Amino acid sequence: MPLVSLRQLLDEAAKKNYGVGAFNVNDMEQIQAIMEAADETKSPVIIQASRGARSYAQDNYLYHLMLAANELYPHIPLVMHQDHGNSFETCVSAIKLGFTSVMMDGSLKADGKTPTSFEENVDVTRRVVEYAHERGVSVEGEIGVLGGIEDGHGAGGTGLEHVTDPDQAVEFAERTGVDALALAIGTSHGAYKFSKKPDGSVLKMDLLIEIHKRLPHTHLVMHGSSSVPKELQDIVNQYGGKLKETWGVPVEEIQLGIKNGVRKINVDTDNRLAITGAIRKVFAETPEKFDPRDYLKPAREAMKKVVAERMVQFGQAGHAGDYQPIPISEMAKKYAVGELVTK
């Protein structure tokens, strides 16, 4: 099975009203954890790499690890997605490497910190869409500015400073032709999202529902959507970690989003916590061990458990075999004849 495009994967998810987790990776063990979870739950998957991940793992290692995943699990539809591309050039380099989907985060300037104007965002995103669609690659844009900082990328803040304006979301989707659209509805990147359990009003779910009504054919994306479960925080802290108490996005709010057009849900922090907790436990309980496999194996297993749980909660479980992948070259033809217009 060739790597599939985000567009096809999310179109299929929309037909059956489920969401698909997009999990971040930096290394082999994380890719293995996701693929094992996908295999076990029979889920289509999105694996994504940030700019930080690409520089940490190096493009060639990362790309060939993804190809290995695809070879080992030919029955799993697999999207390779660039998370938070900061410029036209970053997106082009991802596409040249073989990514089947890119996010152009034009909500921030290329420094990854300073919010842009609406026109700047439209301009850079539209250029990426033109380049990507000619090659059959999907594009996710962002309107509004998310809170927090991760991998040095982000405007900081709580995520409520620049929530998405519905009129702008509609104009942005129409003028850029993006396949998927990330919204700022009060979520933020990193582990410290909320100082108490957030409800639907804190998360501006009403805004998301309104935008979905006005843009029913644009797949919506929730970023910063780790749930930061207390059990995972507790394991880290029980074995010597020092996490402050924090709350993430409750799974039931994500499920409400999925009922209202959310098709891609980005999760990273939960996996980081699972890995770190598992490694700390081995270090604390058996300090005599020094073979990296003694702690990387349980770390991989802990991440797999979280990913498999999310796959079931988001509804993607059981859908891996629903459709045949469309090669990227065929997707390019579909874009060219206007078959995939979302307006």
The residues annotated as belonging to the active site are 83
Q: What single letter denotes the amino acid at residue 116?
A: T
Candidates 38-46, 165-173, 223-231, 277-285: pick the segment binding Zn ion (CB under 5 A): 223-231
- CA-CA-CA-CA torsion sign (321, 323, 324, 326): negative
Counting Cα atoms < 13 Å in the Cβ hemisphere of 259 gives: 7
- Point out which span in 123-131, 215-223, 241-249, 279-287 binds Zn ion (CB under 5 A): 215-223
CB of 224 to Zn ion, least distance (A): 6
Q: Is 21 helix (H, G, I), strand (E, B) or coil?
A: strand
Query: Least distance (Å) from Zn ion to the CB of residue 266?
Result: 5
**In the complex, what is the shortest distance from the CB of residue 84 to Zn ion, in angstroms, rounded to a whole number?**
6
Closer of 180 and 235 to Zn ion (Cβ): 180
Least separation in angstroms between residue 142's CB and Zn ion is 8
81 contributes a contact to Zn ion by CB under 5 A: no
219 binds Zn ion (CB under 5 A): no
| Cα–Cα distance measured from residue 285 to residue 87, given in angstroms and rounded to the nearest whole number | 45
What is the nearest approach in angstroms of Zn ion to the Cβ of residue 238?
29
Residue 272 near Zn ion by CB under 5 A: no
Stretch that binds Zn ion, among 167-175, 216-224, 232-240, 267-275 (CB under 5 A): 216-224
Q: 22 or 45: whose CB is closer to Zn ion?
A: 22
Q: Which is nearer to Zn ion, 150 or 309 (CB)?
A: 150
310 binds Zn ion (CB under 5 A): no
Q: Are 322 and 12 in contact (CB under 8 A)?
A: yes
- Residues numbered 104-133 forming contacts with Zn ion, rule: CB under 5 A: none
85 neighbors 104 (Cβ within 8 angstroms):
yes
Tell me how many residues contact Zn ion (CB under 5 A): 1
Give the binding range for Zn ion (CB under 5 A) out of 116-124, 220-228, 238-246, 302-310. Answer: 220-228
Is position 153 an interface residue for Zn ion (rule: CB under 5 A)?
no
Cα–Cα distance list, 187 to 23, 144, 155 (Å): 16, 11, 12
Strands 219-222 and 180-183: parallel
* Residue of minimal Cβ distance to Zn ion: 223
- Give whichever of 126 and 223 is closer to Zn ion, judged by the CB atom: 223
Give the SS3 label for residue 224. Answer: coil
3-state SS, residue 123: helix
**Structure tokens given for 129:** 């869409």
Give the separation between CA 77 and CA 318, rounded to whole angstroms: 12
264 lies in the binding site for Zn ion (CB under 5 A): no
CA distances from 169 to 6, 220, 333 (A): 20, 11, 27
CB nearer Zn ion, residue 12 or residue 151 = 151
Comparison of 190 and 277: residue with beta carbon closer to Zn ion = 190
User: What is the residue type of 110?
Assistant: A
Choose which of 223, 272, 304, 319 interacts with Zn ion (CB under 5 A): 223
Q: Which two tokens stand for residue 196?
A: 């108490």
Q: What are phi and psi of 106, to 5 degrees?
A: -85, 10
Nearest approach, Cβ of 189 to Zn ion (angstroms)?
6
Using CB under 5 A as the binding rule, whether residue 51 contacts Zn ion is answered as no
In 3D space, the residue among 281, 159, 190 whose CA is nearest the CA of residue 231 turns out to be 281
Which residues of the chain form contacts with Zn ion (CB under 5 A)? 223
